[in-house]
Amino acid sequence: MGVKGPQRASAPQYFSDPGLDALYQMMLVLAEEVAVLRERVDAALALQQEGELATRERVDALDLGDAYDPVRKDFVQRLLEPLEDLAERESKA
């Protein structure tokens, strides 16, 4: 019983040094964790603001809603800014 498909995607290489590809992936993992930490802290602070105890269950359950989306978008924009600059420098080179 059961059919086993491939558990992860193929892994193309984009830089001549494969270590750079690995470094980009490690950076993404870290950035994602920062986004998670920040959103959990902001959920805890929002609970505290309402005079509630920020338990794990309450933090997990509190949906900061669409109003929080600009915070996520702004973080990603800052993260990508150095890449935008790099592309612009290459255009002028």
Partner 1 sequence: MSATLRLEDMNRSTRHELTPTECTEDRARLGFVMHLKRGLGALGQTRLKALVSARSDEDLPNQSETADILGQSTAFAAWSSLNRGSQRRMWMALADMVDRQLPALESQAARLNGREKQGSLRLVPDVELPGYLLETAFHGQPGGYVDTRDERDIRAGLLQEAGGTVYTRGAGTGRKDSKAQAVVRYLDANFPDLRPRRVLDLGCGFGGQTCGYALAYPDAETYGIDLGEAQLRYGHLRAESLGIALHLRQADACAPGFPDGHFDLIISNILLHEVPTASMQEIMRQCHRLLAPGGVVIHQDVPTQVNAMPGFARHMALWQTAHNDEPFWTEFAESSVTDALVEAGFNVDAVFEAYVPQVDGPLTWYFVGARH
Among 48, 53, 55, 77, binds partner 1 (CB under 8 A): 77
Integer Cα distance of 79 and 71 in angstroms? 12
Name the residue among 74, 7, 72, 84 with its Cα closest to residue 37. 72
Q: Which is nearer to partner 1, 51 or 93 (CB)?
A: 93
Q: Which is nearer to partner 1, 12 or 51 (CB)?
A: 12
CB of 70 to partner 1, least distance (A): 10
* Side chain identity at residue 79, one-letter code: L
Report the alpha-carbon distance of residue 27 to residue 24 in Å, rounded: 5
DSSP 3-state assignment of 16? Answer: coil
The answer to whether 55 contacts partner 1 (rule: CB under 8 A) is: no
Q: What's the burial of 46, exposed, middle or buried (CB within 10 Å: 0-12/13-18/19+)?
A: middle
Q: Does 31 bind partner 1 (CB under 8 A)?
A: yes
Residues of the shown chain interacting with partner 1 in the complex, contacts defined by CB under 8 A: 1-10, 12, 14-15, 20-21, 24-25, 28-29, 31-32, 35-36, 38-40, 43, 59-64, 68-69, 72-73, 75-77, 79-80, 83-84, 86-88, 90-92
